[in-house]
Amino acid sequence: MNDLAQTLDAIGQRAKSAAREMARATDAEKSKALMMIAQHIDESQTALFQANQEDLDAAVKHELSPAMVDRLRLSDKTLMTMTKGLRQVAEMVDPIGSLGNTIVRPNGMRVSQMRVPLGVIGIIYESRPNVTIDAAALCLKSGNACILRGGSEAFHTNMALAGILREAMLQTALPKDAVQLIETTDRQAVGHLVKMTEYVDVIVPRGGKSLIRRLQDEARVPLIKHLDGNCHVYVDEHADLERALKIAINAKTYRYGICGAMETLLVHRRVANDFLPKIESAMAEHGVELRGCEITRTICPAMTPATDEDWAEEYLAPILAVRVVDSIDDAMEHIARWGSGHTDAIVTQDVDAARRFEREVDSSSVYVNLPTCFADGFEYGLGAEIGISTNRLHARGPVGLEGLTTQKWVLHGEGQTRG
Ligand SMILES: NC(=O)C1=CN([C@@H]2O[C@H](COP(=O)(O)OP(=O)(O)OC[C@H]3O[C@@H](n4cnc5c(N)ncnc54)[C@H](OP(=O)(O)O)[C@@H]3O)[C@@H](O)[C@H]2O)C=CC1
Ligand SMILES: N[C@@H](CCC(=O)OP(=O)(O)O)C(=O)O
């Protein structure tokens, strides 16, 4: 076994033993720890900004795109959101140990289900430092231990955050190894982590195509995939077009780099003449490049022609594909063919069209008259999020505390025997 594998194994062993302690930690202990972490972040702002600056300088050198720099950057606002998230999660109801779905069987036996932690969760995520804190907060509150592997562009910021987490954890009743960061950018560590079935119960991969390919080949630990968001907004023939314009602009321009950003706009043919010139000039004001289908280009000839590659692309950039469709069926067909099952929206005033879209579009979140950029656990009231699960099993859509738990059966009796 090489040095890296040994280091990973040691992290796994420590996490496994921390997970057992975490499962019996009280709500008060867990909440206090989150408050302590928030306090340490508040007190370490200067050091955090310095570490982040190192990452930002490297990002400039490596010509990272503006959207990627945007998600890497720590600002007063992102730090405030992190600590607010920690305090909110601390105040949330602890799901662990609650008994539910109780029934009493004819023999008097009481059958219930108890919420329990998943155990050790490995999280592989992009270069977005707030994930380090959001993931730690949710894992701790839900009684889990976690092993974090952040994106390499955020290495210095994550190391600084890991130091803060360590310091804060030492002042709590929780095991310090309940949160551990993999302190290397070597991608071999990811390969090893996803095979550590002895120590890791589940892997949450947040990322794009390169990560997916590797996991498909190598992962042995079960995955809750948090993958790419090729999100659509469909402007129906019965849409309120002013509202549609507002929704489309927000879905595309709120933040170009997030997985909930709209990548393709679908427009019903009956409203295309009216709507497309409006969207063209609004997007031009935001500097968004539009790539249109043939019909779109008969109405807006200045647009770049779109190809199949555009329907498949998650730009994460100020580029938008636009396609005119003949019906809601065509829109849903397009989404089924090219979408990634993340988040898709319809804009319509027609209740029947809305119902059909809700029922028939098979994505982790389906919106009616809302922009796709709402794909976020905080916005859904979960306090924070591990990410947006694109998995069908266990947890789907924004994952908060409950998504990090499972249930076991608990039975109570008075000595009944099976006859
Ligand atoms: N559904 C969701 O909740 C989320 C989805 N995403 C998706 O992530 C993508 C954008 O993020 P991006 O930074 O490009 O994602 P990447 O997939 O490039 O990176 C994400 C993480 O995976 C690691 N990784 C990537 N490829 C490999 C590999 N071959 N072997 C080992 N580790 C690997 C990266 O490490 P390294 O730093 O070394 O590259 C990083 O830690 C988009 O598709 C976006 O939609 C992002 C966030 C949340
Ligand atoms: N759900 C979060 C962002 C999750 C996400 O997409 O992350 P990223 O791909 O790093 O921008 C939000 O909307 O702020």
146-159 pLDDT, tens digit each: 999 999 999 999 99
Q: From the CA of 259, how far away is ligand 2's center (Å)?
A: 5
Average per-residue pLDDT for the chain: 97
Contact call for residues 275 and 305 (beta carbons, < 8 A)? no
Instruction: Tell me which residues have their CB closer than 6 angstroms to ligand 1.
Output: 124-127, 149-152, 185, 187, 190, 206-208, 210-211, 214, 226-229, 259, 314, 387-388, 390
Rounded distance from Cα 124 to ligand 1 centre (Å): 8
Nearest CA residue ID for atom 11, ligand 1:
207
Confidence of residue 2 (pLDDT cuts 50, 70, 90): confident
Q: Return the closest-CA partner of residue 230 out of 136, 308, 125, 160.
A: 308
Each residue's pLDDT tens digit, 206-257: 998 789 889 988 999 999 999 999 999 999 999 999 999 999 999 999 999 9
For 3-226+386-412, which CATH class? alpha beta
- pLDDT of 86: 95
Q: What is the mean pLDDT of residues 313-327?
A: 97
241: DSSP letter? H
Closest ligand 1 atom number to CA of residue 154? 37
> pLDDT at residue 262 above 90?
yes
For residue 8, is pLDDT > 80? yes
Instruction: Using pLDDT thresholds of 50, 70 and 90, give the confidence band for residue 352.
Output: very high
Please state, in angstroms and rounded to a whole number, the distance separating the CA atoms of residues 293 and 89. 45
Is ipTM beyond 0.90?
yes
The answer on pLDDT for 67 being more than 90 is: no
Q: How far apart are CA 317 and CA 310, in angstroms?
A: 13
Nearest ligand 2 atom to alpha carbon 257: 11
Our separate counts of H helices and E strands in the chain read 15, 16
- DSSP labels, 138-205: HHHHTT-EEEEE--GGGHHHHHHHHHHHHHHHHTSSS-GGGEEE-----THHHHHHTT-TTT-SEEEE
| Pair type for strands 304-305 and 289-292 | parallel
The per-residue pLDDT for 3 is 92
Cα dihedral 184/186/190/196 (nearest 10): -70
Atom of ligand 1 nearest to the CA of 190: 31
> Which residue is closest in CA terms to ligand 2's atom 14?
376
Decide if pLDDT at 1 tops 90.
no
Quote the CA–CA distance of 381 and 296 in Å, as a whole number. 38
Ligand nearest to the CA of 379: 2
Domain residue spans in the chain? 3-226+386-412, 231-374
Phi, psi of 302 (to 5 degrees): -75, -15
Give all strands of the β-sheet with 202-205 in edge-to-edge order: 179-181, 145-149, 120-124, 202-205
C-alpha distance across the termini of the chain, in Å:
53
Segment 31-45 mean pLDDT: 98
- 231-374 belongs to which homologous superfamily? Aldehyde Dehydrogenase; Chain A, domain 2 (3.40.309.10)
Query: pLDDT for 178-191, tens place per residue?
Result: 999 999 999 999 99
Report the percentage of the chain scoring pLDDT > 90.
96
**Pocket lining: 238 vs ligand 2, CB cutoff 6 Å:** no
pLDDT of res. 213 = 83
Cα–ligand 1 centroid distance for 150 (angstroms): 9
